[in-house]
Amino acid sequence: MTLDDILKEIEGAETILVLAHENPDGDAIGSSLGLCLALQNMGKKAEVLMSEYPANFAFLPGIENIKKAASFEKYDMAIVVDCPDIKRVNSEYIQYFESAKVTAEFDHHNKNSMFGDYNIVNHVSPACAQILVSSFEYLHIEITKDIATCLLTGIITDTGGFKNSGITAETFDFAGWALTKGVNVSKIYRDSMLITTRTKFEAQKLAMERMEFFDEGKIAFTYMTKADDEKIGIETGDHDGIVEMGRNIVGVEVSIFIYQRDDGSFKASLRSNDYMDVADVCMMFGGGGHIRAAGCTLEFPLEESKKAILNEVRKHIQ
C-alpha cells in the first residue's frame, strides 16, 4: 500500500520538508507540526516552511519547527499536508518541493490534483490531521502527547469544534484517547477557537455591521477592503471565522465573505448549511474546497466581485 511506500521513503531520507497551503488554518498548522514532530522522533532532520501563521497557534508544541527560510538547499523528501494542489503552497517554497528527491501528500480536499509521487487523499475525512492519525496508527508511528496536541488542534479547528458534518466516531475516539494521554483539550479549544485579538474583534465587528441578506435571507454577504484592513491594523488570521458568522443565522443557506488582497483582487470564502455545494460554485472562479466550505479569488473591483459571486451562488439556491 502507498502508506508502506511512504514509510520506506521516510526511512531512506535524512532531510524532510513539510509544507501546507498558504494562509494556513489550524488544520494546516496542526498537521504540519504533528507530522514534523513524528519525523523528528524518527531521527529525521525535519522542518516546516511557512511565511506566517495566526498568533493564536503559538501555543502548539514544536512551533519552533516553523521556519520562514529553508535550512537546506535541497531536501531528500517533501511532504505536503492539507493542500489540494501545489499551486496553493507559497510560491517561494514550491522550488523545494520540485527539487526534493521524492514527494508525498496527505489531504482531504475534494478536488485534489494528486500532485505528489505518493498521494494519501481521503475526501470524506473531516480534517487532514485525522488522516495523519489513522496513517500513524497503521504505520505504528508513535503518537506522543505533543503530536496528539497538534493533530487534535487540526481536528478541532477544521470541524469547527466537533460540530461540522463529516465528523466520525474516529474523531471522538481520537479525542478521547488524547485526553487519556494528558492532552489539554479545553486549552486547545479555547486557544484555537475562542480566544480573539482586539484587531480580529474589530474586523468581525465591521464585517457584522456590513452584512447584507439576499434571496429571502438565504444568502448572507459581507466584505472588507484593503483600506479597512489598514485602518484596523489587521494581522494574519484576523479574517478567519468571519464567514461563519453569516452561516449561523436562521434561514441562511450560504454565507459569503470577501476580502481584498494586496494586488486588489478579492479572496472569497463560502460556507453552506444544507444543500449547496460551494466547492462547485468556487470552481467557476478557479477555486475549490469542500462541499460546505470553499474559496476562490475574484479578480474584479468590489462591486463587480460582489455581483459575480452572488450571481453564481443564486444559480444554486433552491
Instruction: In whole angstroms, give the CA distance from residue 171 to residue 142.
Output: 18
In the numeric block, the cell 482586539 is attached to: 198
**Which region, judged by CB under 5 A, interacts with Mn ion, from 92-100, 153-161, 282-290, 308-316?**
153-161
Least CB distance from residue 83 to Mn ion, whole Å?
Answer: 9
Instruction: Tell whether residue 158 is a contact of Mn ion (CB under 5 A).
Output: yes
Task: For Mn ion, give the closer residue by CB, 127 or 224.
Answer: 127
Q: Where on the phi/psi map is residue 114: left (φ > 0), alpha (ψ -120 to 50), or beta? A: left
Nearer to Mn ion, 75 or 257 (CB): 257
Interacting span for Mn ion (CB under 5 A) from 158-166, 256-264, 270-278, 282-290: 158-166
Q: Is 105 in the site for Mn ion (CB under 5 A)?
A: no
Residues of span 57-86 touching Mn ion by CB under 5 A: 82
- 290 with 86: CB under 8 angstroms? no
CB of 316 to Mn ion, least distance (A): 23
Q: What minimum distance in Å lies between the beta carbon of 73 and Mn ion?
A: 30
Report the C-alpha gap between 230 and 214 in whole angstroms.
28
> Residue 27 interacts with Mn ion (CB under 5 A)?
yes
Residue at grid coordinates 479578480 = 299
Closer to Mn ion by CB, 108 or 306: give it: 108
The three-state secondary structure class of 205 is helix
Question: With contact defined as beta carbons under 8 Å apart, do 106 and 83 qualify?
Answer: no
Cα angle value 291/296/298 (rounded, 5°): 145
Q: Is 107 in the site for Mn ion (CB under 5 A)?
A: no
Q: Which residues bind Mn ion (CB under 5 A)?
A: 27, 82, 128, 158
